Amino acid sequence: MSQYLAQVLPTAELVDQQVQPQLLRSSDGYGWPDVKVDLFEEPLWMERWEEPVASDVMIKLILRGNVRVEMCDQRLCDGYHIGQGDLFLKPPGITAPPLCWQSKTKEPVQSLHVRLSGSLVHRTINELTNQDPAHIELSGAAGIRDPLILEVGLALSRELTDPSPLSTLYAQTASLMLVAHLIRYYATTLLPIRERVQGLNVPQIKRVRMFRRIWRSH
């Protein structure tokens, strides 16, 4: 157990409260391609929680609450507080260090998990750059703020709570926007973006206009 958690956790009192995150809502069954969105209520504390290695990109947004987090590897521990609007970014194929977590507020911590498929990332890299997707890596991040990711995440959360007939289109466009943003700002190497010789075709223009109307309506 980390030094910080050993000092603050009344183990006997909280031992029964360390449980798996509780799923509140999920996009399963919505038919959203290339993106999965889940809303969780997090436990009050977790000791050495390890996220499984996945082939997808995982974004975890804190929507409510405040927690103390420590991530420890074999050499050192990195501790910090995270709160509403902060996020974790876990690239595909990455093994994250074990995480210790304790809520600092009485209200339950809620988090939104946005999982972007690895195939979508590869397709987008192929479309936007001249690089081999197999050689492009994204940087992981913990406890950071990114206004665009937050706004898109909140929009997906609203769509998850109150889906509309346009939810699939909305989620598909939002996921593409997230992936393009990650490629531009979180790639470990600078990527030259391929210039398009031609502009958008008519169906693409209609789709962009529709998405703008949907976005403004939220």
- Render pLDDT for 22-49 as a digit per residue (tens, 0 to 9): 999 999 999 999 999 999 998 887 777 6
pLDDT tens by residue, 104-154: 887 889 999 999 999 999 888 888 777 777 777 888 888 889 999 999 999
Is 77 within 8 Å of 71 (Cβ atoms)?
Answer: yes
Residues 120, 176 contacting (CB under 8 angstroms): yes
- State yes or no: pLDDT of 67 exceeds 50: yes
Structure tokens at 77: 């521990």
Mean residue pLDDT across the chain: 77
Q: What is the CA radius of gyration of the chain?
A: 19
The pLDDT of residue 186 is 87
Q: What's the pLDDT at 94?
A: 73
Task: Say which DSSP state 83 is in.
Answer: E
pLDDT higher at 207 or 166: 166
* 15 DSSP 8-state letter: G
Please give the pLDDT value at position 172: 92
**Which of 75, 17, 74, 91 lies closest to 47, judged by CA?**
17
Encoded tokens for 208 = 């962009």
Output the CA torsion 3→8→12→18 (10° steps): -80
Name the phi and psi angles at 214, rounded to 5. -60, -45
User: In this model, does residue 15 exceed pLDDT 90?
Assistant: no
Cα-Cα end-to-end distance for the chain: 44
| Residue 5 Cα to chain centre, angstroms | 26
Residue that wins the pLDDT comparison between 142 and 180: 180
In the predicted model, what is the mean pLDDT of residues 57-78?
82
